[in-house]
Structure 1
Amino acid sequence: MRLGLHALGIGTGARRAVIDAVAVAAENSGFATLWAGEHVVMVDRPESRYPYADDGKIAVPAVADWLDPMIGLSFAAAATHTIGVATGIVLLPEHNPVLMAKQAATLDVMSGGRLMLGVGIGWSREEFAALGIPFGHRGERAAEYVAAMRTLWRDDVATFDGEFVHFDSIRVNPKPVRDRRIPVVLGGNSDAALRRVAAWGDGWYGFNLDGVDVVAERIEAIRALCRDAGRDPAGLRLAVALREVDPSHVDALVGAGVDELVLVESPPEDPGEAAEWVAGLARRWMPAVG
């Protein structure tokens, strides 16, 4: 099982010097992936319920710095050579899919094929309203956007005619490094999110899950949905982050089919302390994950 680190892009992890130091240390310590999430808009008193906490409230304060993950991860990629970079996640319905296809392919090319694009449909009505994007049908919009992006990555001259996306005989370059594809993993823990994974995702990023038993149940649900859809679930990338996790849980997570355990942590403010901070995480976790 691989070990990922979700520590960049927010708060102290939004500072350039910290990004560089954490990225280099994580690569040197054997981490597989650096993850960064997204919110374009935060509000002081949201009415929308955050789905990844029991109290419905996001822990990140509205005043915190929150980088655009495509730009933040480009700095992490520039500071490193081999470690993967992943959005965890981009709120895809909030973006123009033609622009996102180009941005993702650009980061993939500049990183040497290291990008994994994690996408989700979003939960904040206030954020969608601020961007002037309909909140309804965002699941259908995300599915169509991914189909359009894959068309743009694959075809030299691309045409797409859908409900939300239309383009005819256009060229969007560069193309992704690995057979003109970028792995697209789906965020979200709900049944609807898992149906999207089984229908058109390359994998799943389960976030803030409440224990190993929940992880195992959600993965088994994905496998059943894949079988119903005629897909082999063995080809999916399965990454998870837990609310509370201990190295003693690793064997059970491996048994459940987890490919990557993602540690969600906040880096130190002083970039000079980043290397030892990452090394401490590695000393605790690497013996368990092997």
Structure 2
Amino acid sequence: MKIGLHALGIGAGARRPVIDAVAAAAEHGGFGTLWCGEHVVMVDRQASRYPYSEDGRIAVPADADWLDPMIALSFAAAATSTIGIATGVLLLPEHNPVIVAKQAASLDRLSDGRLHLGIGVGWSREEFDALGVPFSRRGARTDEYVAALRTLWRDDVASFDGEFVEFDSVRVHPKPAAGTIPVIVGGNGDAALRRVARSGDGWYGFNLDGVAEVADRIAELTRQCDHVDRSIADLHCAVALQSPSVSDVAALADLGVDELVIVESPPEDPGSATEWVAELAERWITPAMPTA
């Protein structure tokens, strides 16, 4: 099972020297993927409930630096050569899908095909309001945008006629390194798992409450895949736990999880960040390696 690291883009992880140090050390230490999340704006008066904590509040301070994930991951990719990079997650309905298709394909080509595009529908009405995007029907918008992305990546001359996006006979180049980019759907609820089964190449479950909740969500995802005649074995399943333990690795692997993502904040000092990643690798990578 792979071990991913979700540590870039926020706070200390938004500083160039720290990005370089963490990315290089993670690749050297054997981590499988570098993950980077997104919020375009944060607000001081937040009525919307954050779905990944018991108190409904996001732990990131509203005034923290939070890089655009495509830009942050481009620097991480430039500092490395083999480790995967993934948005965890890009809030797709907040963006123009034609621009996302261009940005993602550009990053994928420059990183030699290392990008996984993690996407989510978003939860903050205030953020959608600030961007002038309707909060209602954001799920349907996301589904259509995913279809539009794949059309743009696949077709040399691309056309699409939908409710939320329309284009006719356009050329968007470059194309992804392998012709497409895996779309990893984030979210823990049933609606998100239905979206994974319908149109995702994988699932990113975030801040789950231990192995038992992962097992419950995997069982639901399996049911949703059965409904659409898909096998969950064809999906890349990545999860981040609230309080992960090394002892969880084997249990998660038995459930069919492909990647355990460690969510941590790096230190401010780049030299310390290198040592910090090495300590994480020593703790997590060896237990994740298969035994003979």
User: How far apart, CA to CA, are the structure 2 residues paired with 1:218 and 1:206?
Assistant: 9
What do the CA deviations read for 1:181-238 (whole angstroms, capped 9, x no partner)?
1000001100111000001000000000001010011011111110111112211000
**Shift of the alpha carbon at 1:275?**
1.3
The equivalent residue for 1:168 is: 168
Please tell me whether residue 195 in structure 1 is matched to residue 185 in structure 2.
no
Q: Which amino acid letter does the alignment assign opposite residue 90 of structure 1?
A: L
Q: For this pair of structures, how many residues does the alignment match? A: 289
**Shift of the alpha carbon at 1:159?**
0.5
**Shift of the alpha carbon at 1:90?**
0.2
The equivalent residue for 1:224 is: 223
**Shift of the alpha carbon at 1:283?**
0.8
User: How far apart, CA to CA, are the structure 2 residues paired with 1:186 and 1:34?
Assistant: 16
User: How far apart, CA to CA, are the structure 1 residues paired with 2:242 and 2:194?
Assistant: 23
Residue 25 of structure 2 contacts residue 278 of structure 2 at CA under 8 Å; is this kept in 1?
yes
**Shift of the alpha carbon at 1:274?**
1.3
User: How far apart, CA to CA, are the structure 1 residues paired with 2:29 and 2:250?
Assistant: 21
Residue 150 of structure 2 contacts residue 180 of structure 2 at CA under 8 Å; is this kept in 1?
yes
5 Å-filtered alignment, 1:246-257, equals: 246-257=245-256
**Shift of the alpha carbon at 1:272?**
1.1
The equivalent residue for 1:68 is: 68
Residue 7 of structure 2 contacts residue 263 of structure 2 at CA under 8 Å; is this kept in 1?
yes
The equivalent residue for 2:106 is: 106
**What's the % identity of the aligned pairs?**
70
SS at match of 2:169: strand
SS at match of 1:247: coil
Question: TM-score when scaled to structure 1?
Answer: 0.99
SS at match of 2:220: helix
Q: Which amino acid letter does the alignment assign opposite residue 9 of structure 2?
A: G
Unaligned runs of 5+ in 1: none
Please tell me whether residue 242 in structure 1 is matched to residue 227 in structure 2.
no
SS at match of 1:186: strand
5 Å-filtered alignment, 1:19-168, equals: 19-168=19-168
User: How far apart, CA to CA, are the structure 2 residues paired with 1:21 and 1:284?
Assistant: 19
Residue 233 of structure 2 contacts residue 256 of structure 2 at CA under 8 Å; is this kept in 1?
no
User: How far apart, CA to CA, are the structure 1 residues paired with 2:62 and 2:16?
Assistant: 20
The equivalent residue for 1:204 is: 203
User: How far apart, CA to CA, are the structure 2 residues paired with 1:75 and 1:249?
Assistant: 31
User: How far apart, CA to CA, are the structure 2 residues paired with 1:211 and 1:203?
Assistant: 20
User: How far apart, CA to CA, are the structure 2 residues paired with 1:262 and 1:233?
Assistant: 19
Question: TM-score when scaled to structure 2?
Answer: 0.98
Q: Which amino acid letter does the alignment assign opposite residue 63 of structure 1?
A: D
What do the CA deviations read for 1:56-110 (whole angstroms, capped 9, x no partner)?
0000000000000000000000000000000000000000000000000000000
Q: Which amino acid letter does the alignment assign opposite residue 267 of structure 1?
A: P
SS at match of 2:247: helix
Q: Which amino acid letter does the alignment assign opposite residue 198 of structure 1?
A: A
User: How far apart, CA to CA, are the structure 1 residues paired with 2:136 and 2:62?
Assistant: 24
**Shift of the alpha carbon at 1:43?**
0.5
Please tell me whether residue 13 in structure 1 is matched to residue 13 in structure 2.
yes
Unaligned runs of 5+ in 2: none
User: How far apart, CA to CA, are the structure 1 residues paired with 2:146 and 2:196?
Assistant: 12
SS at match of 1:160: strand
Aligned structure 1 segments of 4 or more residues deviating by more than 4 angstroms: none
User: How far apart, CA to CA, are the structure 1 residues paired with 2:13 and 2:24?
Assistant: 14
